[in-house]
Structures are given as structure tokens and as C-alpha cells.
Amino acid sequence: MHIIGNPRSQQALSRRWRNEGKRIGLVPTMGALHEGHLSLVRASIESCDRTVVSIFVNPIQFGPKEDLKRYPRPFSRDCAMLKRLGVDAVFHPSPSAMYPRGFSTSIDVGGSLTRGLCAPRRPGHFRGVATVVAKLFNSVEPDSAFFGAKDFQQAAVVRRMVADLNMGVDVRVMPIVREKDGLAMSSRNAYLSGAERAGAAVLYRALSAGSGKIAAGERRSSAVRAAIRAVLGTVPLARVEYLEITDAETLEPLLSLRGRVLMALAVRVGGTRLIDNMCVRVPQGRLRRKIRRK
């Protein structure tokens, strides 16, 4: 398994592979790998001839008060996991290799995708994400890139950027991998104390309650939100930062639910900020049929 420390060497390796006719898959990560990341790696290995996993804790996507310094970086352990899976290269640049002195270009994805959810709570975050993903794409030159639905808004922003800038990368979004109790796997779960970890499962229970309401015929966003909030309220350690129900394509808030709907939330459990979401397709016309039958 190659371990590559700068964009030029990664480009050279990728171009060699391309000349050999190999399809290249990229899995961008910040490391501290768990089964969620590994599901993306497996998907890449299955559909591509060469898989590159990038491990880069991207400083420009963290706010000044966020956990950049504290973010876990168990690099040797991560490499051992990736080697076992059969990954071909780990792209692990230093911050100065990615952002040398004088670096001054960034990518801003505008419009509805960056108006709500995490965007107003993390100013500059998606600019940092789009910029680093563009740099990773230019370094690895992948055919396909694999992202998790865990970061739903991020995946939507990346898709938009790829379409708008004709990047020619096939973006694949894979399902959320969860712990047994439903907690979405995340490198940040390591910050949770025992009691916080137990409480954190409330995010999934709450989203499931929302999805249950919709399945039972509820179409008012306010009622579904109330059902989700009621469950979140059962764990005093959990403080809601946002809870939004949006159209899954545009990420615009919905009053009345139809089509593909995203329920997304950010919750602080103790000092740790957790995000989770659930996407559901609202069955058409169900409520009306029910009323007619009565």
C-alpha cells in the first residue's frame, strides 16, 4: 500500500494507473476510521480497479472554536485497517502540502444547499469542504468518489460542485452505518462519556419516530418535528442545535411533506456535536384515501 504525502506524487501515481487503463476510486476521510468509512472503502474496491483513501484533517473546514486540535489522528491504526482491506494508496498530505504559503483560492457552492442545516451554524464550513474536495479530486483524479449519507448536506454540496464545474467524477453516496442501538458511527463518538454515549442513541430514536409519523400518514412538517422533538426531550443531556425537515434534493424547508424528504438534526450531547439524518419517500395520496374510507 502506497502512502503518499503530497498532491504531485499522488497525481503521478494516479496517472500511471490511468495509463494502465485502471479505474480509480477515491474515499475522502479525516481518519479515525470506523465501519462507516470502511463501507465506503469496500464499495470503492468492489467497483474500481484502484482505491485511494485520503486521510486529511482539513483545517479550513473547522471554525475557530471547533475541535481541529483535538480531532483524533490514529494514523498507523488507520493504515493497518486499510491495508487489510486491500486499499492501494493512502493519500495523507500535511496541511502545508495542501495549503502552501500564498494559497488563496476557494470554492463557494451557493443557493439553497448552503442556506440551512449546518451552513449557518458553521460559517465557512462548506467552503472549506468544497475547496478540499476539489483539491483531492485534482490530486487523485478519480473516476468515482465515495461519500456517506451521514453528511447528507456535504454530499449534496459535492454533487452540485461536480456538476457545476464539469469535474467528471462519478459521486456515489452510501447509506449511514449505525451502531446496534442506532447511533450513527462517527469519529467524534469517541469524545462521548459513558452516559453521553448511552444518551446519544436518542438521535436515531427521534428520527425513527419522525419516520413512523410520516408512515402513519402525517404530512404536516410541524407535527413530524414535534414528534421528533418529543423524543429528543426525553434525554436531558441532549440539546438540539437544529431540527429541519427539507426537500431531499434542494434542502429547502418544507411545510407540507411530499416527494423525497430529509429529516436532519444536529444535537449537542454534553460537549460533543452530533449530526444525523433520515431520508424518506412520502407515499403519494395516502392520507386522502384514508379519509375517503372513513
Taking the C-alpha atoms of residue 187 and residue 283, their distance in angstroms, rounded to an integer, is 35
Catalytic choice (2, 34, 37, 125): 37
Of 123, 48, 131, nearest to 85 (Cα)?
48
Between residues 116 and 182, which has the closer beta carbon with respect to ligand AMP? 182
Q: How far is the CB of 129 from ligand AMP (least distance, A)?
A: 9
Helix spans in 73-183 (H): 75-85, 95-98, 118-121, 125-140, 152-164
Between residues 151 and 218, which has the closer beta carbon with respect to ligand AMP? 151
Torsions phi, psi of 146, nearest 5? -115, 125
Taking the C-alpha atoms of residue 37 and residue 49, their distance in angstroms, rounded to an integer, is 19
Which amino acid would we find at residue 75? F
Burial of 40 (0-12, 13-18, 19+ CB in 10 A): buried
One symbol per residue from 1 to 30: x for binding ligand AMP (CB under 6 A), - otherwise; what is it? Answer: ----------------------------xx
Q: Does 135 bind ligand AMP (CB under 6 A)?
A: no
Q: Of the candidates 87, 177, 192, 254, which one interacts with ligand AMP according to CB under 6 A? A: 177
Between residues 48 and 282, which has the closer beta carbon with respect to ligand AMP? 48
Active site residue 125: no
Q: Of the candidates 150, 160, 197, 213, which one interacts with ligand AMP according to CB under 6 A? A: 150
Taking the C-alpha atoms of residue 289 and residue 269, their distance in angstroms, rounded to an integer, is 41
Between residues 39 and 221, which has the closer beta carbon with respect to ligand AMP? 39
Q: How far is the CB of 184 from ligand AMP (least distance, A)?
A: 5
Taking the C-alpha atoms of residue 117 and residue 154, their distance in angstroms, rounded to an integer, is 11
* Cα separation of the two ends of the chain: 65
Between residues 87 and 184, which has the closer beta carbon with respect to ligand AMP? 184
Q: Does 78 bind ligand AMP (CB under 6 A)?
A: no
Of 99, 172, 165, nearest to 134 (Cα)?
165
Q: Does 186 bind ligand AMP (CB under 6 A)?
A: yes
Q: Does 187 bind ligand AMP (CB under 6 A)?
A: yes
Q: Does 157 bind ligand AMP (CB under 6 A)?
A: no
Active site (catalytic) residues: 37
| Chain residues in the site for ligand AMP (CB under 6 A) | 29-30, 36-37, 39-40, 147-148, 150-151, 174, 176-177, 184-187
